[in-house]
Amino acid sequence: MDVNLIVNGERCRARVEPRKTLADLLREDLGLTGTHLGCEHGVCGSCTVLLDGLAVRSCLMFGVQADGSEVTSVEGLAGDPESLSLVQRAFQETHGLQCGFCTPGFVISVTAFLAEVPDPTDEQIRDGLSGNLCRCTGYQGIVQAVRLAARLRREERAETSG
Amino acid sequence: MKAAAFDYHAPESVDAAVALLAELGDEAKVLAGGQSLVPVMAMRLGRPEHIVDVNRIEALAGATRSNGTLRVGALTRHRDLETDVLIRDSVPLLARAAPHIGHFQIRNRGTVGGSLAHADSAAELPAVTVALDAEIEVRSSRGSRRIRAADFFVSIFMTALEPDELVTAVHLPVWGRGCGFAVAEFARRHGDFALAGAACGVQVDGGRIVRAAVGLIGMGGVPVRARPAEQALTGADAHGADLVSTGRDAVAALDPPSDAHGSAAYRRHLGAQMITQALGRALAEAQGQDRNPGQSQAGGTA
């Protein structure tokens, strides 16, 4: 089936089998391998992308279902491939990763989370991270990354509005 | 971990969807949020020949309220239960249950109708509908009917739905003043299915409990309504109600599953605790809103 969608701001077209997940469509048909597949049944969160602005598991959707939708994967967060988004920068600075496999999913989830909860408590941060699994870090660096990202985000907003 | 091949259908109206279900019968499976069906297909526990994707049917989404009843469309997402003001104000128990459903990424996709049709007795929404005496509205090419929640859930993952029927909405009663609602559950990790839980509502008038609803999560093959607990509470003094023994008595006769995650006895123990906790929170809220606190409540605001 033909699928038309906007991925990271660009119009894309692919011909896919209905059984193919959105994650596989992104990785195999569009060459966007930043979206990782861990468990492939909705538990680990590695494949999280933004679908029309909302964080979803791209392994729990068929690619054909995204026809007409707008998808943002980790490659599209910063706007251009040479720079990092604010959340990505925060992960880098606090070393909120070790092997990096789960990181794209975390970065997407945190981006969506901070849009809704701009000034989170530590408890809210941990709740917001509960849908993504990391087997390396023990999460401390990731929690720090979210704290930093929230601060940077607030500062940036204060500057642009002031 | 890839689904087997299937034919994909994406009807844009309820009529078109039920026509497809009538034609395809047992071979077809309805795809709503996909948060349970897609893993089942990925693990090849299910291999439907046809998928009828209802996500493009706009008429299935959203809530309306009339004559003391809230109608929630089947395609309403779990996230909307938390954020939609009409839903939150009309049936607060839905909003209290929603944060317990998976993680926010799951709630962005998961639907009310999907949760009910999937009929996992460890899930939150089936217990809420049973506790509140909700009715589930279903459609087929033969017409429309409403099924009481208590009759809808038949056994483990089994409902009264016929293969050609589509869940179109759920109708829930709007309670009056002086109400409180709470969901308590115990899961080993946040977002996991609960080992045991309770979804409770109470209404207090003049310091007395005039209405009580208790639905239990994960305490049997179907969501259980704890009628003995409801009867024991109704008419009781809101201040003096013995919630510990209410919880204990409510689970005494139940036979929850025993598995690697917990024995039946452990689940009963947890179930009793969750009932006590949820009722305590619901009662505190209800007493705070009781406009006519009567003699039993010593002065002022609660």
* pLDDT (tens digit per residue) in A123-160: 999 999 999 999 999 999 999 999 999 999 999 999 88
Across the interface, do B38 and A61 touch by the CB < 8 Å criterion?
yes
Across the interface, do B34 and A19 touch by the CB < 8 Å criterion?
no
Please tell me whether residue A7 adopts helix, strand or coil conformation: strand
How close B110 comes to chain A (CA, Å)? 10
Question: Which of the four pLDDT bands, split at 50, 70 and 90, describes residue B157?
Answer: very high
The yes-or-no verdict on residue B302 having pLDDT over 60 is: no
Nearest-CA residue of chain A relative to B6?
Answer: A19
Please tell me whether residue B181 adopts helix, strand or coil conformation: strand
The yes-or-no verdict on residue B300 having pLDDT over 70 is: no
Question: What pLDDT does B294 receive?
Answer: 63
The yes-or-no verdict on residue B86 having pLDDT over 50 is: yes
The mean pLDDT value of chain A amounts to: 96
Question: What pLDDT does B299 receive?
Answer: 41
Question: What pLDDT does B31 receive?
Answer: 98
Nearest-CA residue of chain A relative to B106?
Answer: A56
Question: What pLDDT does B193 receive?
Answer: 86
Query: For the segment B191-209, what is each residue's pLDDT rounded down to a tens digit?
Result: 788 999 999 999 999 999 9
Question: Which of the four pLDDT bands, split at 50, 70 and 90, describes residue B258?
Answer: very high
Question: What pLDDT does B176 receive?
Answer: 87
Query: For the segment A89-117, what is each residue's pLDDT rounded down to a tens digit?
Result: 999 999 999 999 999 999 999 999 999 99
The yes-or-no verdict on residue A79 having pLDDT over 90 is: no
d(CA A140, CA A126) in angstroms, rounded, equals 10
B46 touches chain A (CB under 8 A): no
The yes-or-no verdict on residue A83 having pLDDT over 70 is: yes
Hey, how many other C-beta atoms are within 10 angstroms of the C-beta on B80? 24
The yes-or-no verdict on residue B113 having pLDDT over 50 is: yes
Across the interface, do B35 and A60 touch by the CB < 8 Å criterion?
yes
Question: What pLDDT does B188 receive?
Answer: 86
Question: Which of the four pLDDT bands, split at 50, 70 and 90, describes residue B283?
Answer: very high
Report the share of chain A in percent with pLDDT over 90: 94
Residues of A in contact with B6 (CB under 8 A): 18-19
Residue with tokens 């045991």, as numbered in its chain: B196
Residues of B in contact with A63 (CB under 8 A): none
Residues of B in contact with A4 (CB under 8 A): none
Average pLDDT over residues B107-128: 97
CB-based contact B110:B61 (threshold 8 Å): no
Question: What pLDDT does B298 receive?
Answer: 44
Report the share of chain A in percent with pLDDT over 70: 99
How close A110 comes to chain B (CA, Å)? 11
Please tell me whether residue B30 adopts helix, strand or coil conformation: strand
Question: What pLDDT does B95 receive?
Answer: 98
Hey, how many other C-beta atoms are within 10 angstroms of the C-beta on B273? 18
- Cα dihedral B123→B126→B127→B129 (10° resolution): 150
Residue B105 is nearest to which of A40, A48, A62, comparing CB atoms? A48
The yes-or-no verdict on residue B1 having pLDDT over 90 is: no
Question: What pLDDT does A162 receive?
Answer: 66
Helix/strand number for chain A, H first, E second: 5, 5
This prediction has a pTM of 0.94
The yes-or-no verdict on residue B36 having pLDDT over 80 is: yes
